[in-house]
């Protein structure tokens, strides 16, 4: 059963400017693995923006907004062997949302040169 659906749309240039101008922004928002992944890409800011959108979409799907006890860099986008994106939560973040429920998480990412979007569906287990 679907618990929640979240979608977010991000201006790629906004994320690019934050990364360029704000010391520590990348490390505050993205996991080390996400930073490595994005930095290896030709159009890295599009990939950063899509990951940022996914984190925002996750909280929208949860229906709570940002939760104390969670951090953006503890929510990361990975890829399975087929290249499909997956949203993974740290143990601390899983523990924080355990009171709400346990979920299968589905995520879709898309981006152009100017915008990135993500949709997250939370399915109850």
Structure tokens at 115: 């915008």
For the record, the structure tokens of 88 come out as 């993974």
The mean per-residue pLDDT over the stretch 27-41 comes to 97
Q: Which of 26, 47, 55, 111 is catalytic?
A: 111
User: Which residues participate in the annotated binding site for Mg(2+)?
Assistant: 8, 56
For the question of residue 106 being annotated catalytic, the response is: no
Q: Which residues are annotated as a binding site?
A: 8, 56
Is the pLDDT at 23 greater than 80, yes or no?
Answer: yes
Q: Which of 26, 47, 55, 60 is catalytic?
A: 60
Architecture (CATH level 2) of domain 2-124: Alpha-Beta Complex (3.90)
pLDDT at 37: 97
Task: Identify the pLDDT of residue 65.
Answer: 73
Answer yes or no: is pLDDT of 84 > 90. yes
Rounded to two decimals, what is the model's pTM?
0.94
Note if 79 is an active site residue: no
């Amino acid at each position: 059963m679907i618990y929640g659906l979240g979608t977010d749309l991000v201006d790629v240039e906004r994320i690019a400017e934050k990364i360029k101008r704000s010391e520590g922004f990348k490390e505050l928002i993205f996991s080390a693995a996400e930073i490595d992944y994005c930095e290896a890409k030709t159009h890295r800011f599009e990939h950063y923006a899509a990951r940022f959108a996914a984190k925002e979409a996750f909280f929208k799907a949860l229906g709570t907004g940002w939760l104390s006890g969670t951090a953006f860099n503890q929510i990361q986008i990975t890829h399975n062997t087929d290249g499909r994106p997956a949203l993974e939560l740290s143990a601390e973040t899983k523990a924080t949302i355990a009171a709400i429920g346990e979920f299968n998480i589905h995520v879709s990412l898309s981006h152009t040169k100017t915008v990135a979007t993500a949709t997250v569906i939370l399915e109850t287990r």
